[in-house]
């Protein structure tokens, strides 16, 4: 489990937690839990996500799964940003990036 935090307009703190199921392959089946203050704001399905804080929200990288590659070591990832829109985080800016 990992945690990313940030501050929304008005000084409200937000926390993004990722949680996985148990068992083999569980690292690929995760859910992001987004808390604003002490309230669960939303849940976001994710696949082996890496979350980072950005101005006004957060960014999620999820691996591109290619059948001929080992799934635990992807070379590219889908990038999806989430920005705060007054009551919830809204997805924006989809794209693919090279994984270092």
Give the model confidence (pLDDT) of 77-93 as tens digits: 788 889 888 888 888 86
pTM of the predicted structure, to 2 decimals: 0.76
Domain-wise residue ranges, the chain: 2-98
- Cα separation, 58 vs 65, in Å, equals 22
Between 74 and 45, name the one with better pLDDT: 45
pLDDT of amino acid 77:
79
- Cα separation, 77 vs 7, in Å, equals 26
Contacts of 13 (CB under 8 A, 6+ apart): 5, 6, 7, 36, 37
Give the model confidence (pLDDT) of 3-45 as tens digits: 888 888 888 888 888 776 555 555 565 788 999 888 898 998 8
């Amino acid at each position: 489990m990992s945690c990313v935090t940030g501050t929304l307009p008005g000084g409200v703190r937000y926390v993004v937690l990722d949680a996985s199921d148990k068992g083999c392959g569980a690292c690929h089946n995760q859910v992001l839990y987004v808390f604003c203050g002490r309230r669960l704001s939303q849940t976001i399905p994710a696949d082996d996500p890496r979350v980072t804080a950005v101005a006004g929200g957060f960014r999620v990288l999820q691996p591109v799964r290619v059948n001929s590659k080992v799934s635990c070591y992807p070379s590219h990832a889908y990038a999806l940003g989430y920005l705060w829109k007054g009551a919830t985080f809204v997805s924006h800016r989809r794209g693919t990036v090279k994984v270092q």
